[in-house]
Homo-oligomer: A and B are copies of this chain.
Amino acid sequence: MDTSALDALKLLAGSDLPGLIVVDRHSRPMTILPGTQVLRMAIPRYCIDDPTLARVVDEEHADDFLHDLADRTVEQCLPQQTRELAFVGPEGTVLEIAALMARTRTPLVVVSIGQDMLGAITLDALVDRMLLT
């Protein structure tokens, strides 16, 4: 939650993951950001809502938005509205996890018991498992 948004973007770029799990100071999972929603933190709201406005910002000024990112934390950039979280218990079935990923449009699911994170499952790993059976 208190990582800078710029570091979060770098973490996503340096990993082979389709998104990031956001944790609090006690490493408890708070939410999951698909890659597109990590990217969203780097873009001014008016550009997301209106494609025409994004088009008229020239490349030089576009870089300024990245500099601003270093001053904001992930917590400050999180969406206001709460959405269904892609969290599943250790007893979750393959079909249940697949349905959860499809419904929440999140290619990364947290496996947890209460507030404790046991691990995570990526869409790639899940599909590999489905095709093996």
Determine if A30 is an interface residue (Cβ-Cβ < 8 Å). Answer: no
Q: Chain B: which residue is nearest A128 at the CB level?
A: B13
Question: What residues on B are CB-neighbors of A130 within 8 Å?
Answer: 9, 42, 66
Q: Chain B: which residue is nearest A53 at the CB level?
A: B99
Q: Interface size (A, Cβ < 8 Å)? A: 49
Q: Is the interface of A mostly helix, strand, loop or mixed?
A: helix
Number of identical monomers bound together in the oligomeric complex: 2
Question: What residues on B are CB-neighbors of A55 within 8 Å?
Answer: 92-93, 96
Determine if A80 is an interface residue (Cβ-Cβ < 8 Å). Answer: no
Q: Chain B: which residue is nearest A133 at the CB level?
A: B63
28 pairs, A vs B, C-beta closer than 8 Å:
A9-B131, A12-B127, A13-B131, A34-B36, A34-B105, A35-B127, A36-B102, A37-B102, A37-B105, A39-B98, A39-B102, A39-B123, A39-B127, A43-B95, A47-B98, A47-B99, A48-B103, A51-B96, A51-B99, A54-B96, A54-B100, A55-B92, A57-B93, A59-B94, A62-B93, A63-B133, A66-B133, A105-B105
